Amino acid sequence: MRTRLGTTIGIAAALSMLVLATGASAAGGEHKYVGVKTCGICHKADLIGDQLAAWKKSPHAKAYETLKSDAAAKIAKEKGLSVPAYEADECLKCHSTAHGLEKSQIYRRPLADSDGVQCESCHGPGSDYRSKKTMADPAKAAAAGLQDPGKNEKICTGCHNAESPNFKGFDYAKFKAMIAHPIPADVKGHYLEAERELRKKRRESMGK
């Protein structure tokens, strides 16, 4: 089951939108999933745009919870599912990240379905681009598996398609704008330098 991005239509009717769930796993190949907690170590910083906060406020983070709604239960019954929607592979593949993957595809700690659609559903498994040094160089990050759903509609339509019981079309340009969480232009590609400058200013303000 899948939800329509940016609308109140989805499995919970009023609660969810997705960009992608696990379509990145096939593209990721040898790259492994690290989970939102690892991504958030750096991406909670104001300097880089605090993408973690944006994600927490988005329906992506609530995608799993929509599967516990009455609307989801109704759809599950209509589809003849043998388990509740929040336990069904058919639903979890697009309402969570890395669901059902082998341990060899996960980096260190398992990802929780309850965390919903995490960063790597859209940006690809992050084990090889997670370091600051790699992420600070867009070309190196891309070579290490980082994907850009803002330039590749297929990443989104891996879940936003007619297979969803609530699908009513997908306006890529409209919906990607609704969940935009960019790195500031003056920081992107220069993160390490910007971080050093920020630390320098903080030291100076403290008289060190």
Q: Which amino acid is it at 44?
A: K
Average pLDDT of the residues in 84-92: 96
Contact 12, 69 (CB under 8 A): yes
Average pLDDT of the residues in 102-123: 96
User: Cα dihedral angle (54, 148, 9, 66), rounded to 10 degrees?
Assistant: -60
Q: Which of these ranges, 22-31, 78-87, 152-161, has the smallest mean pLDDT?
A: 22-31
How many other CB atoms are found less than 10 A from the CB of residue 140?
15
Separation between Cα atoms, residue 91 and residue 100, nearest integer Å: 12
Q: pTM of the entire structure? A: 0.81
Q: pLDDT by residue (tens digit) across 38-57?
A: 999 999 999 999 999 999 99
Paired residues of 33 in beta bridges: 106
- The answer as to CATH 3.90.550.10 being correct for domain 24-181 is no
Contact 32, 112 (CB under 8 A): no
